[in-house]
Amino acid sequence: MAEEYKCKLLVEGNEDVHVIKALWGSYNLPIVFDIIDCKSITKVLANLRIRLTAPQENQKIGVVVDADEDSSARWDAIKGRLAETGKYDCKQIQLQGEGTILKSVDSEYPSIGVWIMPDNRLPGMLEDFVATLAEPEDALMTKSEKVLDEIETEGIGRYKPVHRAKAKIHTFLAWQDEPGRPMGQSITARVLKAGNPSGQLFVEWLKRLFLYK
């Protein structure tokens, strides 16, 4: 797909693209950035490195990746790419709970935004974040958690432990009207609430990065 804007958001997969588009659209905000599906964390980092060599074409760059088991390792990998340029004071950069935004020491280089799913602190992934968009104390979310506990106790689960969050959110969505609706569509349909605190925080980070100077 052709890129339209000089602001870019690099993500790991197609689900990220649809979830972020749905969140942004829920707030009726202007589209001012391209979302680039890089297909993997390795390719996100490679894409970031390449874009940093062409700052005139990349005014602002956001990076959204899963923490998986270690948010610090993800953060260190991203800082490593920035340090290679010599244009960012990486020693002073700290990962922020509300999403990190940093300026380069050279005004010609892009501002960089970093969000490590789910919340810039805990291990996890996109699906952990999306689960927080359900209503607090939703009975079906509670039930999906109990079902996974039962499956694991009985030893009949076929999902990998690292993918538990995927099993949980997709079980929850399977029990809705129009079962199995994808996560992005579920946000648009308001089964998942973009206005929940975690959704608001993420969108505010995007706004600070892409809409404000």
Sign of the C-alpha dihedral computed for residues 17, 19, 23 and 26 taken in this order:
positive
Radius of gyration of the CA atoms of the chain, in A: 18
Question: Which of 61, 55, 58, 57 minimizes the C-alpha distance to 78?
Answer: 61
- Phi and psi for 82 in degrees, rounded to 5? -70, -40
Q: How many other C-beta atoms are found inside a 10 Å radius of the C-beta of residue 17?
A: 17
Decide: 142 and 35 in contact? Cβ < 8 Å. Answer: no
- Read off the pLDDT of residues 143-161 as tens digits, 9 standing for 90 and up: 999 999 999 999 999 999 9
C-alpha of 45 from chain center = 15
Mean of pLDDT values over 61-84: 95
Question: Which of 202, 199, 200, 131 minimizes the C-alpha distance to 165?
Answer: 131
């648009």: which residue's tokens?
Answer: 188
Sign of the C-alpha dihedral computed for residues 118, 119, 123 and 128 taken in this order:
negative
- Read off the pLDDT of residues 84-141 as tens digits, 9 standing for 90 and up: 999 998 887 888 999 999 999 988 899 999 999 999 999 999 999 999 999 988 999 9
- Read off the pLDDT of residues 173-210 as tens digits, 9 standing for 90 and up: 999 999 999 999 999 999 999 999 999 999 999 999 99
